[in-house]
Amino acid sequence: MALAKSIARTLIVPLGDIQLTSFANGEIYARYTQSVRGCDVFIIQSLSNCAAGSVNDELMEMLIMTDAAKRASARTVTAVITHFGYSRQDKKSASREPITAKLVANMLTVAGVDRVISVDLHQGQIQGFFDIPINHLTALPLFANYFTDKNLRNLCVVSPDVGRAKAAKKLSELLDADLAIMHKSRPEHNQAEVSDVIGRVKGKNCIINDDMIDTGGTIVASITKLLEKGAASVHVCATHGLFSGKAYENLEASGAEEIVVTDTVPVPRVRQKGKIQVISVAQLLSTTINNVFYETSVSELFDPDFQL
């Protein structure tokens, strides 16, 4: 993926050489074509439905590459999971449901992963599903820098639901902005109904912050509601741009000024136009990987005042 190449360039190291193919029936095959004996291996993977394959293919690739590295006597394996797939299934909301985020955490541990690095998990509590070290990074300072450079005034950061309120409050503090919260319900998966806005948004330049955009239903509904409430403008920022189905078309047709995402999930170059803007987390992940490798502190990366 392009992000892995950017990280390697920043660290001034070559990407590892690995052969990834599939058998005729779809089974994945992986083999390291260089020695990894005694090495600290960092596997960079986005568990998402990207151009390279489905979220299930990406997960199996990660597990198989980890197993191959361990069997080749790698000293440690760190899974750099830029987008943690299945993270929305982090609790039982109804009877007879799975907690798939916990299942994925178990699979990674059993495969031999020694440490996980991830960016903006759907819920921070997912860290507790792991019995191995996990470094949970956030893109909030990157978004804060982006909007600070735009010199927007009279700002209000808007959380699309109560669950995202804590992160939205952090972003509002970084931007010295007001805070508002949307009241949302989900009648079905990938469907959202926004009934009201808690907070004053009339005449303000609003910034909706979320961890991911999938079909765009929640975001489009939120944009519409804010404009109905008299917002002067609406900007959107989300760490993971999954953009499933007709998300691109729906977002372009919305009343938002721009939709800002990071490259934790690959966004096709042809889509990086119009309202879709992409900023990179390569420097953030490069610094984290470097600190992990040299066994220095990573906690400074969680400090909002820390500058990469």
Annotated catalytic sites, by residue?
A: 184
DSSP label at 199? S
Q: Count CB atoms within 10 A of the CB of residue 217.
A: 18
Strands 155-159 vs 193-198: parallel, antiparallel or unpaired: unpaired
Q: b/e map of 233-253 (b: 16 or more CB within 10 Å)?
A: bbbbbbbbbbbeeebbeebbe
Q: Count CB atoms within 10 A of the CB of residue 48.
A: 26
Amino acid of residue 97:
E
Q: Are 257 and 235 in contact (CB under 8 A)?
A: yes
Q: Taking phi first (over 0 means left), then psi (-120 to 50 degrees means alpha), and beta for anything else, what does residue 245 get?
A: left
- Beta-carbon contacts of 116 under 8 Å, excluding residues fewer than 6 positions away, are 78, 79, 81, 108, 130, 132, 133, 134, 135
Closest by alpha carbon to 166, among 140, 148, 189?
Answer: 140
3-state secondary structure of 148: helix
